[in-house]
Amino acid sequence: MDLTPSPALVQLELRGPVAVVRLARPAKRNALSDAVVAQLRDIFQTLPATVRAAVIDGDGPHFCAGLDLSELQERDAGAGLHHSRSWHAALAAIEQGPVPVIAALHGAVVGGGLELASACHIRVADASTFYALPEGSRGIFVGGGGSVRIPKLIGAARMTDMMLTGRVYNAEDGERAGFAQYLVAEGTAFAKAMELAERVAQNAPLTNYALMHALPRIAEQPADHGFFTEALMSAIAQSAPEAKERVRAFLEGKAAKVAK
The DSSP bridge pattern shows strands 130-132 and 182-184 to be unpaired
User: CA-to-CA distance for 113 and 64, rounded, in angstroms?
Assistant: 5
User: CA-to-CA distance for 78 and 83, rounded, in angstroms?
Assistant: 9
Cβ distance 212 to 233 under 8 Å?
A: no
What mean pLDDT value characterizes the chain?
91
Cα angle vertex 13, ends 15, 55, to 5°? 75
Over residues 205-226, the mean pLDDT reads 96
Say if residue 174 is exposed, middle or buried (CB neighbours under 10 Å; 0-12, 13-18, 19+).
buried
Write out the catalytic residue numbers.
115, 135
List CB contacts of 231: < 8 A, sequence separation 6 or more: none
**pLDDT in the model for residue 80:** 84
**pLDDT in the model for residue 1:** 35
**pLDDT in the model for residue 4:** 44
On whether the pTM is more than 0.85, the answer is yes
**pLDDT in the model for residue 68:** 82
**pLDDT in the model for residue 3:** 40
**Cβ atoms within 10 Å, residue 180:** 24
List CB contacts of 85: < 8 A, sequence separation 6 or more: none
Helix (H, G, I), strand (E, B) or coil at 179: coil
**In this predicted model, what pLDDT tens digit does every residue of 48-73 receive, in sequence order?**
999 999 999 999 999 999 988 777 77
**Cβ atoms within 10 Å, residue 55:** 29
- Asked whether the predicted pLDDT for residue 248 surpasses 60, the reply is yes
